[in-house]
Amino acid sequence: MVGQFPEENSPTGEFVRQPDEFRDWVRRDGSTPYAPEAGRYHLYVSLACPWAHRTLIVRSLKHLDAAVGVTVVDPVRDEKGWAFRNGPGHTRDPVNGFHFLSEAYTSTAADFRGRFTVPVLWDKRTRRIVNNSEDDICRMFNDEFASPADGVDLFPRALAAEQAALSEQVYQHVNNGVYRAGFATQQAAYERAVRDVFGMLDTLDQTLATRRYLFGDAFVETDWRLFCTLVRFDAVYFGHFKCNLRRIVDYPNLGGYLRDLYQAPGVAATVNFDHIKRHYYVTHTEINPTQIVPLGPVLDFAAPTNRAKIGRT
């Protein structure tokens, strides 16, 4: 069977994600050509994509809205890739006049042959992609564009090793795990991925029984990488990617944790369920050949939650 991305499927049906291509860094110490200057950089994102979503959340939490501009692509991606079009919640590209995100890639590296992904951090001065790794961009927003002392510190030094280890587990088993399930092309590969996803969700739910957030009473970047999958889970991954052993609302702790994070200042504005559902159900035609977008589920993440009491003395 041919999968959504044939070049990223192994002979045994596993989805193997392509690595990020552009990994240059913005540094405040002058060790790279890229200094964190207000107005110099622009972020190209999709509101549907969990990887891009995380960079938007960190940008908001670090109060970088005025320093780093954003352009949102059309959530429906066709054979030409992500497109810049005017529509509800998305626009044409005001920086370069690109029609497709692929133009940012090919103007940076004419021989690029991979998949054109979001997010993209663009340098308006050198007119090239600086970085297309959400992990790097979030770290730069926290450490280089804004000092950790400016508001929340999403990568506290005291937790560095422990946080890095849990972030990797969340990525492997949850963030990328749902894709390994959804894009698997053989039954055994799919089943392995689904068991992996729910094994980790079960563990995280137990962790959150005694903590408000993953590391205590303050959230860190690991919480937000988990959030970006959880907020899409019941609407998309549960049915569309066949991760249907349990819903997030069925978990006694993950459900409240999700609502708690959603209600953090500035976060709800980054969540767009219309973009999320239209992207997944219309773009991934191998999974959903009829391209019918479901009406549900009805989700109320603004409902009151008592999670603030957990983990506090």
Element (H, E) at 42: strand 41-45
Q: How many helices (H) and strands (E) does the chain have?
A: 9, 4
Task: Classify burial at 298, counting beta carbons within 10 Å of its beta carbon; exposed 0-12, middle 13-18, buried 19 or more.
Answer: exposed
Task: Return d(Cα 79, Cα 77) in angstroms, integer.
Answer: 7
CA dihedral 49, 52, 55, 61 (to 10 degrees): -30
Task: Return d(Cα 109, Cα 106) in angstroms, integer.
Answer: 5
Going from the C-alpha of 169 to that of each of 33, 184, 229, 249, the distances in angstroms are 33, 20, 13, 22
| Catalytic residue ranges | 49, 179
Residue whose token pair is 């207000």? 38
Helix (H/G/I), strand (E/B), else coil: 129: strand
Q: Which residues contact 286 (CB under 8 A, 6 or more apart)?
A: 2, 3, 4
